[in-house]
């Protein structure tokens, strides 16, 4: 370093020492910045010629942490030539080493984003059949959080090891880890159970991002899976926050576990005289032209009969839960309107039978009800 900077020092021989140190510092910083720009500029040109997103993500995510590391390396190279006192130089050197360690940790955390960029490009979520993509995205979220936690722990250990006093504190903590470990373990049991549950969910896959689930009686979609909790977006835009361990310890419904297609039911209640075949034909006429129907299932059956009405169950299928809901509403509205218009006499009716009243053993004719009473009764 001294040989390379010899011409600069000779030009500043007559200037005060601090001026030469300042010029040297500025020169090193400019060279570091220029080298960073040239390096990433050339790498960006090569990355633009490839079709993969990995090299583009690598350059984009490592640009700023790499600049910080290069600048810190330039400052470390300048420090021996600054002419500072021994204590001050050692203190600054230790501070720069700590900052460089943190910048390397920053770089490692940023590089974990390459996994996110690759998964987003290779497994798209905006397609009709995205089951595999949702599985990969869920695993990617959990794996990246684990990697970030490991990097943070490693960087923290390196920082503590570089500080003599902190190293002594760490040794004393390890010596008393017997009792403290039990206390911390009991206090951190919920967090540890959720962390282990996150690993189990990533491996076994009971839920994935964008899955349709029924949790605590609420219908919604999995919006976020963190290291300790899951956010379910309810149909009315509310958010239900559930601990990760919930999905390993309690039953819940997952409507998109293997596929998104689902069947929906519509119940219609009518009089015993309703023409079932005509209603079945009308159901087919409603469903077939609709874009909500996936063409798999369309049927109608009489599933119950009470003392007043019969229960007609319409069974239809759709590509996902949202379309199934809209299709059920469409079938219900159209069938009710059709029955009102074509067969109003077959809607649910109340029947009553009028018998003669016996007075002193003699039957008297039953009085006819006035017009308008018992509307629709036989």
Q: Around 316, how many Cα atoms within 13 Å sit in the side-chain half-sphere?
A: 29
Question: What's the CATH number for 262-346?
Answer: 3.30.70.100
Instruction: Give, in words, the CATH class of 125-256.
Output: mainly beta
Q: How far apart are CA 325 and CA 331, in angstroms?
A: 10
Tens digit of pLDDT at every position of the chain (378 positions): 455 555 555 555 555 555 556 766 777 788 888 888 888 888 888 878 887 788 888 888 888 888 888 888 888 887 777 666 677 777 788 888 888 888 988 988 888 888 888 888 877 776 666 667 777 777 777 778 778 888 887 887 777 777 766 666 545 544 444 444 444 444 445 555 666 666 677 666 688 888 889 998 888 988 888 777 889 999 888 999 988 878 877 888 888 777 777 888 999 999 999 999 999 999 999 999 999 998 889 999 999 998 889 999 999 999 888 889 899 999 999 999 999 999 998 888 777 777 776 666 565 555 555 554 444 443
Q: Which residues pair with 213 in a beta bridge?
A: 220, 254
List where CATH 3.30.70.100 sits in the chain. 262-346
Q: Around 34, how many Cα atoms within 13 Å sit in the side-chain half-sphere?
A: 6
Reported in sequence order, the residue ranges of the chain that DSSP labels E, i.e. its strands, are 212-215, 218-225, 229-234, 239-243, 253-254, 262-270, 293-305, 310-318, 357-359, 362-364
List where CATH 2.30.30.60 sits in the chain. 125-256
Determine contact, residues 244/235, Cβ cutoff 8 Å.
Answer: no
Q: How far apart are CA 250 and CA 255, in angstroms?
A: 16
Q: What angle is formed at CA 143 by the lines to CA 142 and CA 146, rounded to 5 degrees?
A: 90
In 79-130, alpha helices (H): 86-111, 113-122
């Amino acid at each position: 370093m001294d040989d390379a900077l010899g011409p600069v020092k000779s030009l500043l021989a007559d200037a005060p020492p601090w001026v030469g140190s300042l010029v040297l510092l500025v020169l090193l910083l400019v060279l570091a910045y220029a080298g960073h720009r040239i390096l990433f500029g050339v790498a960006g040109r090569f990355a633009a010629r490839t079709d993969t997103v990995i090299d583009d993500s690598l350059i984009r995510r490592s640009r700023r942490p790499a600049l910080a590391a290069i600048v810190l390396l330039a400052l470390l190279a300048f420090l021996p030539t600054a002419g500072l006192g021994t204590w001050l130089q050692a203190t600054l050197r230790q501070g720069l080493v700590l900052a460089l360690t943190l910048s390397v940790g920053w770089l490692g955390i940023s590089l974990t984003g390459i996994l996110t960029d690759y998964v987003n490009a290779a497994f798209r979520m905006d397609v009709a059949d995205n089951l595999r993509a949702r599985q990969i995205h869920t695993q990617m979220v959990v794996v990246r959080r684990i990697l970030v936690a490991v990097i943070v722990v490693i960087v923290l250990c390196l920082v503590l090891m570089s500080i003599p006093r902190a190293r002594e504190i760490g040794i004393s903590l390890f010596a008393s880890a017997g009792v403290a470990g039990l206390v911390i373990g009991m206090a951190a049991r919920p967090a540890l159970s959720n962390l282990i549950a996150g690993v189990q969910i990533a491996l076994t896959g009971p839920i994935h991002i964008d899955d349709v689930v029924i949790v605590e009686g609420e219908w919604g979609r999995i919006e976020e899976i963190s290291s300790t909790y899951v956010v379910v977006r309810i149909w009315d835009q509310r958010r239900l926050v559930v601990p990760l361990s919930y999905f390993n310890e309690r039953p819940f419904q997952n409507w998109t576990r293997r596929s998104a297609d689902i069947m929906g039911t519509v119940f219609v209640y009518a009089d015993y005289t309703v023409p079932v075949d005509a209603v079945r034909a009308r159901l087919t006429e409603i469903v077939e032209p609709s874009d909500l129907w996936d063409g798999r299932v369309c049927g109608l059956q009489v599933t119950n009969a009470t003392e007043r009405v019969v229960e007609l169950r319409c069974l239809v299928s759709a590509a996902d839960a949202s379309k199934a809901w809209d299709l059920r509403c469409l079938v219900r509205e159209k069938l009710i309107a059709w029955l009102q218009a074509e067969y109003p006499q077959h809607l649910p009716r109340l029947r009553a039978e009028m018998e003669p009243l016996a007075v002193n053993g003699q039957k008297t004719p039953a009085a006819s009800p006035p017009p308008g009473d018992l509307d629709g009764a036989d």
